[in-house]
Structure 1
């Protein structure tokens, strides 16, 4: 058999191949077009990335002294160590994972690092990697790939707000019934997570005013078997580039739905609690003498204007103890969710933008799409409709 002649390439040819690769052409595409191995294209690209213009010395190497050889060997060893360090830096989270995750990392980074070096760092065999690379995907892997696609879509559609428990519930709505740990593992592989919640500092209301204080009738019992039995309300502050925005909400504890809200630039009662209350009574019927309206001791809730409204609808007023935010914990928790999932995620928030974002958060996201663990992972709207159908 005639021995196959080995092709040789000069430096200019190699540099042009590297330029093609840098321009966006894949190594496989260049391999097909030029008739050279794809791993050679990747090797030349890596060599140029590390050595620049001194790459591709070819056969014209100068005769070196013993000292120069030692320096060259040390440089080579240092370069090898730097490459291994870079692999470890990028792949630190994969070192303790199973082989499929390691092999997936190697596949994604073979344009950057030599397969042989990655195999040495991960202590896996090249034959094992290429066997995995060329294998037919298993049924579970195909299922995982479908799940990854859906997880990414849910993550995007919910504006990156959900963790694995609620993503699991969203997947169930799509017909995927899998465990929460499996969802968490796939999210980790995809390097996604819910928005990191910042610490929410509760600022209690200044109750230093001359109005009467109502007793705490709610007494931290945040359950309600029917709508229109217990409403809670609170006011929070949102910083914008054009000054403060004051948000007032009224929530029905039956289904945790925000049934009334108002946004204003000032803290007058008619722009805050009165406006939110009027929206609430339009959205949900009142049970006279039975409905408890609970809030903190703020002057807006204690003033005569608001108390006249409550009296007109025969609603019983309840107030938290002085400086005790836990007496109104559900309303406080809503503001924690709002700020961690929305407000803290928007830099340089404009006043008009804040109004639109908060409106969308309450009416579209929180009331209609956000699943609540208290409601057995239903949204307030789903919970309300489900119980209406049961009652019918």
Structure 2
């Protein structure tokens, strides 16, 4: 079953579609005519998404997985039973037959049969929602208020009368508890509407960042826009409820770099993952990453301050020649302006550039100690790897057509990252603001 929940507003919108017979908080019942038409359109070559859009459905609201799953089920039904499979009721054990009551009139038999069908549908709905959400072997109990919601939806959907006691008994809740909950239904509706309004507000921010934003940064952005911000727990709840999450990056294989020669020298890991620093300029990290754009590859060398997370120096190059790290060191020297922390060190991996004798010589001339990660252990330089990952998530570098366009994008991102991008673990400050905070402290 889909994890998407429909609120009252969304249910009303869906019920306005002529192809829908009824909607609950987690399920949509479609008309038989639409199911038959959808299967035929699919056989003619149309995809599930196209079929639903052409029939007036909002795919973002109902979810692509629900659309594909529904059409797969309808194809199987059509293949087995034909069009009659959508026009006849086939639910419930032994539903092909009807109660054998010879002494009842035909009208009475029909009435009882219809009542039985409605009850079986209500029972199936109750089991599916109140009990069927648990995994096999999971004994977690469904909350009472969730069961009350299920009962209310089932009664409203099927227009059942005098069935409250039976449904409460099936759900293992008290009848009096259900009526107490019903009296507070207006409060539930108000909360649901408030949730939907807050969701629309958060979704605007989420879309502005093209989905590349998590709940922490959403919270910090809301704090900038509202005098009374939302609780971060509420933001997480709404993101789960309405199914919008930060787009997670996938690991990319790192480009192989030439192996070091005999005269290249590796150095011990002095840093030892001590990334919690409170003195700017004491621990610096450096690394190189790559960007593939318009059939070409560019390389970015960066130096990051562990304490403030500020990018102090960077160099973009179309090649992996040693000049990329030499220029980075030169820019770092200009940035520090001769103010070197007495215990300053620069940490890197054991790449070709950092084991090169000339690079190590220039590091010593800057009065910096040099530290290196253990071979094949990227976690020893985790903050630098994390920065590159977030940068690639948030930067649309693939759209760059020339090296100049890519450089302009990266220059703008570095300004944004250092001066505007607030970070949760920096007391919700930007790197430059946090640097001033540490110096003042």
Q: What is the Cα deviation at residue 124 of structure 1?
A: 5.5
Q: Secondary structure at the match of 2:420?
A: coil
What is the alpha-carbon distance in structure 2 between the residues aligned to residue 288 and residue 106 of structure 1? 62
Q: Are 1:279 and 2:331 counterparts?
A: yes
Aligned to 2:422: 371
Aligned to 1:69: none
Q: What is the Cα deviation at residue 308 of structure 1?
A: 3.5
Aligned to 2:154: 123
What is the alpha-carbon distance in structure 2 between the residues aligned to residue 214 and residue 269 of structure 1? 19
Q: Are 1:150 and 2:201 counterparts?
A: yes
Mark the CA change 1:381 to 1:152 in structure 2 (over 3 Å): closer, same or farther: farther
Q: Are 1:217 and 2:281 counterparts?
A: no
Aligned to 2:18: 113
Per-residue CA shift, 1:207-229, capped at 9, x if unaligned? 42222223222122122221111
Mark the CA change 1:356 to 1:159 in structure 2 (over 3 Å): closer, same or farther: farther
Q: Secondary structure at the match of 2:419?
A: coil
Which range moved further: 228-237 or 317-326? 317-326
Q: Secondary structure at the match of 1:125?
A: helix
Aligned to 1:383: 434
What is the alpha-carbon distance in structure 2 between the residues aligned to residue 206 and residue 326 of structure 1? 22
What is the alpha-carbon distance in structure 1 between the residues aligned to residue 372 and residue 253 of structure 2? 21
Answer yes or no: is the 8 Å Cα contact 1:263–1:355 preserved in 2. yes
- Structure 2: which 5+ runs fail to align? 30-152, 160-185
1:74-223 equivalences in 2 (<5 Å): 92-94=2-4, 97=5, 101-113=6-18, 117-118=22-23, 121=29, 123=154, 125=156, 140=191, 144=195, 147-173=198-224, 174-188=226-240, 190-202=242-254, 206-209=258-261, 210-223=263-276
Mark the CA change 1:142 to 1:282 in structure 2 (over 3 Å): closer, same or farther: farther
Mark the CA change 1:360 to 1:108 in structure 2 (over 3 Å): closer, same or farther: farther
Aligned to 1:301: 354
Q: Are 1:246 and 2:299 counterparts?
A: yes
What is the alpha-carbon distance in structure 2 between the residues aligned to residue 300 and residue 165 of structure 1? 36
What is the alpha-carbon distance in structure 2 between the residues aligned to residue 93 and residue 350 of structure 1? 42
Q: What is the Cα deviation at residue 294 of structure 1?
A: 1.1
Answer yes or no: is the 8 Å Cα contact 2:288–2:302 preserved in 1. yes
Q: What is the Cα deviation at residue 264 of structure 1?
A: 0.4
Residue among 325, 338, 357 paired with 2:409: 357
Give the total of aligned pairs: 287
Which range moved further: 241-250 or 160-169? 160-169
What is the alpha-carbon distance in structure 1 between the residues aligned to residue 208 and residue 8 of structure 2? 30
Mark the CA change 1:93 to 1:104 in structure 2 (over 3 Å): closer, same or farther: farther
Mark the CA change 1:267 to 1:114 in structure 2 (over 3 Å): closer, same or farther: closer
Aligned to 1:62: none
Mark the CA change 1:116 to 1:356 in structure 2 (over 3 Å): closer, same or farther: same
Which range moved further: 216-225 or 247-256? 216-225
Mark the CA change 1:108 to 1:283 in structure 2 (over 3 Å): closer, same or farther: farther
Which range moved further: 368-377 or 321-330? 368-377
Answer yes or no: is the 8 Å Cα contact 1:237–1:247 preserved in 2. yes
What is the alpha-carbon distance in structure 2 between the residues aligned to residue 116 and residue 212 of structure 1? 73
Mark the CA change 1:348 to 1:357 in structure 2 (over 3 Å): closer, same or farther: closer
Q: What is the Cα deviation at residue 147 of structure 1?
A: 2.9
TM-score, normalised to structure 1, is 0.62
Answer yes or no: is the 8 Å Cα contact 2:286–2:301 preserved in 1. yes
TM-score, normalised to structure 2, is 0.56
What is the alpha-carbon distance in structure 1 between the residues aligned to residue 360 and residue 331 of structure 2? 16
